[in-house]
Amino acid sequence: MGTNFILDLAKRRKTVRRFSSTQVNLKDVLVALETACQAPSGANSQPWRFVVITNSQIKGKIREICERIEREFYSKVNGELREWLLARGFSWKKPFLEEAPVLVLILSETKAPYSTESVWLAIGYILLALEELNLGTVTYTPSNAKGVLDEVDVPDGFRLEAILPIGVSTDEKSKEPRLSLDEVTYMNSWGRSVSTL
């Protein structure tokens, strides 16, 4: 690794959708969640809540609920999004919800200011922390979460922002390409390149 530790981690990280059955040290997952707790949040409301799931039956149930929702979604989606999904081999099937040794439900407390923004920022911390621990994940975002929330008794007032299946990667898919810094950054006014700095 070079001197820009976070940059190196961010460059190395990619989404993982296939997991080995190797067990995960739960302490590592907790370290990643503790990292998330250090994220900034609107009015320091800390609206993140986590439900860590290792029980196979519960994971199976969550997969079943999500796949039911995904089937409906895939039957309706069309246009560019459909092309994008098909080109990447995505379908309603979500085996990673059962294959990953650990699932973490990421919830936000809806009454908190900027709850979604804050929680997604915290998710970014989790992704980098997991990368440092050589664990992989995908920020899976089911379109309708009611069944999942009921399955683990989440009370009213919380939204499911994402499910993170966590485990050791067997995913050979490469990282999606990125725009260069120069393509997305301007100096002092729109369109003025930073590449000459």
Minimum distance from CB of 100 to ligand FMN (Å)?
A: 12
Q: Which is closer to ligand FMN, CB of 83 or CB of 187?
A: 83
Binding region for ligand FMN (CB under 6 A): 14-15, 17, 138-141, 175-176
Minimum distance from CB of 168 to ligand FMN (Å)?
A: 16
Minimum distance from CB of 183 to ligand FMN (Å)?
A: 16
Q: Which is closer to ligand FMN, CB of 33 or CB of 164?
A: 164
Q: Give yes or no for a contact between 195 and 170, defined as CB atoms under 8 angstroms apart.
A: no
Q: Which is closer to ligand FMN, CB of 84 or CB of 186?
A: 84
**What gap in Å lies between CA 189 and CA 184, rounded to an integer?**
12
Could you say which DSSP state residue 177 is in? P
Strands across the sheet containing 102-109 = 48-53, 102-109, 158-167, 136-137
Q: Cite the DSSP H helix spans in 13-79.
A: 26-36, 56-76
Q: Which is closer to ligand FMN, CB of 54 or CB of 116?
A: 116
Minimum distance from CB of 172 to ligand FMN (Å)?
A: 12
Residue 110 Rama label (left phi>0; alpha psi -120 to 50; beta)? alpha
